Amino acid sequence: MDERALQIAEAELEARFAGRIRATPARSDPRPQGSGPPNRHGMPRLPPHQLERQGWPVLDLGIVPRIPAAELRLTVDGAVARPLSLSRADLLALPGAAAEVDFHCVTGWSRLDLRVGGVRLSTVAALAGPRPEATHLLLHGHDGYTTNLSLEEALKEDVLLVLTAGDAPLPVEHGGPLRLLAPELWGYKSAKWLARVEVTTRNVKGYWEKNGYSDGAHPWRNDREARGE
């Protein structure tokens, strides 16, 4: 797919989900909880019960995969028209994206204004072409970790497949060579050491969603624990 065709496909995909994106809690909540000046989308800078951290703490399942950047391979499959297997070079050849984002961990800390770069998840999704019946993604890490995202959350413009942090390649302890970052949700939705994006036709819960954490994961509603989901 050439660049112009990809731009059109991405715009069409985002338009298809535009109403649902606007209706997500981080974009529509009339009474968001938290403190501080408004963030990039009008939510309070810090969600409730969060403390700002200057560093970037490391949390994982006790497994730290070490994948050489040259061996990076991202699979995109499931309910798509065009299954993909992308190398680092393939990702770098796509339209790039850089952003300052905030990262909110459900354990109570927030890292603000984190500079990251990579590719929008929506760009890769458009390249694969989710089928009309597709509703969610299930993200798979090389460490066996899984987490889920609705497509309306996944297709937001600030959801990135991250290759760099600051001016350097993404460190392995933070999920390098490739991780997802979905800054409008709790950090457990931002899978590290990303290996596969599975497009699904129903909501399939991941590791923490099956183990007591909220499926919605909306920081500004203090949505931390599962409540009969």
Tell me the pLDDT tens digit for each residue of 24-37: 999 999 999 999 99
Let me know if residue 226 belongs to a domain: no
Read off φ and ψ for residue 194, nearest 5 degrees. Answer: -65, 130
Helices 3-16 and 121-128: crossing angle in degrees, nearest 10, is 100
**Cβ-based burial of 6 (10 A; exposed 0-12, middle 13-18, buried ≥19):** middle
Identify the weakest region by mean pLDDT among 48-57, 58-67, 209-218: 58-67
Q: What percent of the chain has pLDDT over 90?
A: 91
Has residue 24 been placed in a domain? yes
Q: How many domains does the chain have?
A: 1
**For range 41-63, the mean pLDDT:** 90
Run of H or E residues at 4: helix 3-16
Tokens of 207: 């590791």
Confidence grade of residue 139 (pLDDT, cut at 50, 70, 90): very high
Kindly report the number of other CB atoms within 10 A of residue 150's CB atom: 18
Domain annotation covers residue 13: yes
pLDDT at 207: 97
| Per-residue pLDDT at 202 | 98
Q: Assess if residue 184 is contained within a domain.
A: yes
Please state, as a whole number, how many other Cβ atoms lie within 10 Å of the Cβ of residue 156. 23
pLDDT digits (tens, 9 = 90+) for 91-130: 999 999 999 999 999 999 999 999 999 999 999 999 999 9
The answer, yes or no, to whether residue 228 has pLDDT greater than 70, is no
pLDDT at residue 41, as a whole number:
85
Cα dihedral across residues 130, 134, 135, 139: positive or negative: negative
Residue 129, φ and ψ in degrees, nearest 5? 75, 75
Decide if 104 contacts 187 (C-beta within 8 A).
Answer: yes
How many Cα neighbours within 13 Å face the side chain of 149? Answer: 30
The amino acid at 204? V
Q: Which residue has the tokens 């112009």?
A: 4
Q: Is residue 228 situated within a structural domain?
A: no
Q: How far is 182 from 191, CA to CA, in rounded Å? A: 9
Q: Residue 175 pLDDT more than 60? A: yes
Confirm whether 135 is domain-assigned.
yes
**Is 227 a domain residue?**
no
Q: Where are the beta strands (DSSP E) in 4-159?
A: 35-38, 44-46, 51-52, 73-78, 84-87, 97-104, 109-120, 136-141, 146-150
Domain harbouring 115, CATH code: 3.90.420.10
d(CA 172, CA 174): 5
Q: What is the DSSP letter of 120?
A: E
Domain range enclosing 129: 3-221
Q: What stretch of H or E contains 54?
A: none
Question: What average pLDDT does this structure show over 128-154?
Answer: 98
Instruction: Indicate whether 99 belongs to any domain.
Output: yes
CB atoms within 10 A of CB 28: 12
CB 198 within 8 A of CB 137: yes
